[in-house]
Amino acid sequence: MTEQEIIERCKKNDRRGQEALYRKYLPVIKAMCLRYTQDEDRLISIINNGFLKVFKGIKQYKATGSFEGWIRRTVFNALSDYFRKENKYLKNTFFDVPESGQQSEALADLFYADLLDLVDELPETTAAVFKKYAIEGYTHKEIAEALGVSDGTSKWHLFEARKKLKHLLKNRGNKLYGYVG
């Protein structure tokens, strides 16, 4: 089945189309979700809820942009909902090393939407690279191709995004706790 046939069958709630979509995109989605949890039960729950959202929302897919990107975004929203529902925050998700002290507490107080607000404060290309890498699970090679930059430039933008986000988080934490910085 072609991607278009899969989409059309899923829009008709056809089980074979849904199975084909699931099998085709499961490896990509699983790899993306493994960035956020290593717990097998949690992983399965997030993936299944994500695909359920994909199947329920596929009628709204307008065929603008990448279908895989739309699936990734939908599943990421399910992942975010999962952590919000379980009253857990996405702390230390976007950074290689955990913060300590008041910064860690401030980071724990931020919800996904707050993090996206901070990402929107980044320069356009830096924010785009960060979203594609940290949120949507693209590789630097895929990002480089999509944005017309080199792999190294993609990596630099990710480094800059992390550095600037840590600074923004530190400032946000200081404001939350009444520190003057």
In a domain, 90, yes or no: no
Residue 155: the pLDDT is 92
Residue 20: the pLDDT is 95
pLDDT above 50 (res 169): yes
Are residue 113 and residue 71 in the same domain, yes or no? Answer: no
Mean pLDDT over each residue of the chain, to the nearest integer: 79
Are residue 64 and residue 113 in the same domain, yes or no? Answer: no
Confidence of residue 111 (pLDDT cuts 50, 70, 90): low
pTM for the structure as a whole: 0.53
Residue 29: the pLDDT is 92
Whole-number Å distance between alpha carbons of 78 and 160: 27
Average pLDDT in the 92-115 region? 49
> What's the Cα-to-Cα distance from 89 to each of 116, 124, 146, 150, rounded to whole Å?
13, 25, 30, 33
Residue 95: the pLDDT is 47
DSSP-assigned letters across all residues of 15-62: HHHHHHHHHHHHHHHHHHHTTT---HHHHHHHHHHHHHHHHHHGGG--
Are residue 62 and residue 133 in the same domain, yes or no? Answer: no
pLDDT above 50 (res 104): no
Are residue 9 and residue 74 in the same domain, yes or no? Answer: yes
Count of domains for the chain: 2
- Say what percent of the chain tops pLDDT 90: 30
Whole-number Å distance between alpha carbons of 43 and 169: 27
Are residue 105 and residue 81 in the same domain, yes or no? Answer: no
Higher pLDDT, 13 or 37: 13
Among 31-35, 71-75, 116-120, 164-168, the range of highest mean pLDDT? 71-75
* Per-residue model confidence as pLDDT tens digits over 42-96: 889 999 999 999 999 999 888 887 899 899 889 988 887 787 776 444 444 454 4
* Domain CATH for 60: 1.10.1740.10
In a domain, 159, yes or no: yes
In a domain, 154, yes or no: yes
Average pLDDT in the 98-122 region? 59
Tokens linked to 63: 């065929």
In a domain, 51, yes or no: yes
Residue 22 burial (CB < 10 Å; 0-12/13-18/19+)?
middle
pLDDT above 80 (res 151): yes
| Domain encompassing residue 8 | 3-85
Residue 173: the pLDDT is 57
Are residue 57 and residue 126 in the same domain, yes or no? Answer: no
In a domain, 91, yes or no: no
* Per-residue model confidence as pLDDT tens digits over 5-15: 999 999 999 99
**Residue in the structure block whose two tokens are 């849904």:** 18
Helix 40-57, helix 15-33: angle, nearest 10: 130
In a domain, 78, yes or no: yes
SS3 123: coil
